Amino acid sequence: MTAATPPSSVDMSVDLAGVRLPNPMMTASGCAANGREMHRFIDVAQLGAFVTKSVKAQPVSGRGTPRMAETPSGMLNSIGLQGPGVQAFVEEDLAWLHSIGARVVVSIAGSTASEFAGVARAVVRSRYASAVAAIEVNISCPNVANRGLVFACDPASSHKVMTLVREEVPRGLPMLAKLSPDVTDIVEIADTVLKAGAHGLTMINTTLGVAIDVDRLRPHLIAATGGLSGPAIRPIAVRAVWQVAGAMRAGRIRTAPIVGAGGVRTGRDALELVAAGASAIQVGTAAFNDPTAPERVGRELEALIAERGFTRLSEVTGIAHERFTP
């Protein structure tokens, strides 16, 4: 294993709403299971934080197969939030992440606002809660049978979820809202969840897509629709971060850390999101064919920042706004 952040003249540390991370690199929820598989290739404790699969209150078997399909510059998935349920997650996965000293962002999900709150309660009251660096509230998963349950598509629903979860999360533990690009105005949703108590934002989740098998003339996925991820969605992620960061800089919404996610494969990809306004980066789909990607991208990002003469990551965060003249 290699360290994610070798000694450097660049300060890559991140202030995630009061929690200091040594570097900005994270996994993206659902793309590295709960750590053990990736730990064979890199020391996940060296990442800024490891983001778990979204965990629900009860075990979920997920969608039937096929539930993944390759697309140009990306992939579609319709896993359906498969998982063991929060109690098994705490006793097996969170316990293991705690044992290796990882900083953990626990992604939580639910079919109701109350379920979200219950999952958060079980995590933060567990004996392994000291490993938890933040709670990421996945209000934007596109792979639910009832599209009405994509809470992030509705301001009132997203506000209710964040309000109930906030009541369970202790002071000092950041609560991140993971937003969907599949909305008319992502700034409005960002404003709503921040007003409801979110301490930061993760942007973006996958965007809804369909792939047709032209030999059988039917959808590839058993669920027909799936979440599109990979390089194809990076410009959408950069756009979302740009719009929300711009609204923060203009004083139209409250300022909060943004975690950029969507199609990051290289340090240059990560630098795009940072310059647009992200202060931390998640790597997802790239890890399927390169499980060292979260660590490698961090090294590449650090080198690019140093090459441009900066000494701190924070100096580059949002810099594209300062250098843009409409």
**Is 23 known as a binding-site position?**
no
**Is 172 known as a binding-site position?**
no
Of 291, 317, 279, 245, which is closest to residue 134 (Cα–Cα)?
279
Q: Is the pLDDT of residue 138 over 60?
A: yes
Percent of the chain whose pLDDT exceeds 70: 95
d(CA 55, CA 43): 22
Please report which residue ranges of 48-206 form alpha helices under DSSP H: 86-88, 95-99, 113-124, 155-166, 186-195
Residues with Cβ within 8 Å of residue 158, at least 6 apart in sequence: 139, 151, 152, 177, 189, 192, 193, 196
Instruction: Identify the pLDDT of residue 68.
Output: 93
- 141 among known catalytic residues: yes
Residue 116, Ramachandran bin (φ over 0: left; ψ between -120 and 50: alpha; else beta) = alpha
Q: Is the pLDDT of residue 3 over 90?
A: no
Query: Could you report the per-residue pLDDT of 41-60, keeping only the tens digit for each?
Result: 999 999 999 999 999 999 99
Q: Is the pLDDT of residue 280 over 90?
A: yes
Query: Could you report the per-residue pLDDT of 158-206, keeping only the tens digit for each?
Result: 999 999 999 999 999 999 999 999 999 999 999 999 999 999 999 999 9
Band of the pLDDT at 62, cuts 50, 70, 90? confident
* Cβ atoms 53, 27 nearer than 8 A: no
**Is 204 known as a binding-site position?**
yes
**Is 111 known as a binding-site position?**
no
Of 259, 229, 227, which is closest to residue 47 (Cα–Cα)?
259
**Is 212 known as a binding-site position?**
no
**Is 118 known as a binding-site position?**
no
pTM: 0.94
Query: Among the options 47, 141, 162, 248, which is catalytic?
Result: 141
Instruction: Identify the pLDDT of residue 104.
Output: 98
Instruction: Identify the pLDDT of residue 8.
Output: 67
Residues facing residue 16 across a β-bridge: 19
**Is 230 known as a binding-site position?**
yes
Band of the pLDDT at 65, cuts 50, 70, 90? very high
Band of the pLDDT at 5, cuts 50, 70, 90? very low
Instruction: Identify the pLDDT of residue 282.
Output: 98
Band of the pLDDT at 313, cuts 50, 70, 90? very high
Band of the pLDDT at 145, cuts 50, 70, 90? low
| Burial readout 70-93 (b: 16 or more C-beta within 10 A, e: otherwise) | ebeebbbbbbbbbbbebeebbeeb
Give the mean pLDDT of 217-241. Answer: 96
**Is 225 known as a binding-site position?**
no
Instruction: Identify the pLDDT of residue 143.
Output: 60
Tokens of 48: 């800024």
Band of the pLDDT at 7, cuts 50, 70, 90? low
Of 261, 263, 260, 259, which is closest to residue 288 (Cα–Cα)?
263
Q: Is the pLDDT of residue 152 over 90?
A: no
d(CA 160, CA 163): 5
The tokens 């390759």 sit on which residue? 70
Secondary structure (3-state) at 221: coil
Query: Could you report the per-residue pLDDT of 116-126, keeping only the tens digit for each?
Result: 999 999 999 99
d(CA 59, CA 37): 20
Residue 160, Ramachandran bin (φ over 0: left; ψ between -120 and 50: alpha; else beta) = alpha
Instruction: Identify the pLDDT of residue 149.
Output: 58
Band of the pLDDT at 80, cuts 50, 70, 90? confident
Is residue 184 exposed (0-12), middle (13-18) or buried (19+ Cβ within 10 Å)? Answer: exposed
Overall fold of domain 14-62+80-208+228-322: TIM Barrel (3.20.20)
**Is 143 known as a binding-site position?**
no
Give the mean pLDDT of 93-97. Answer: 98
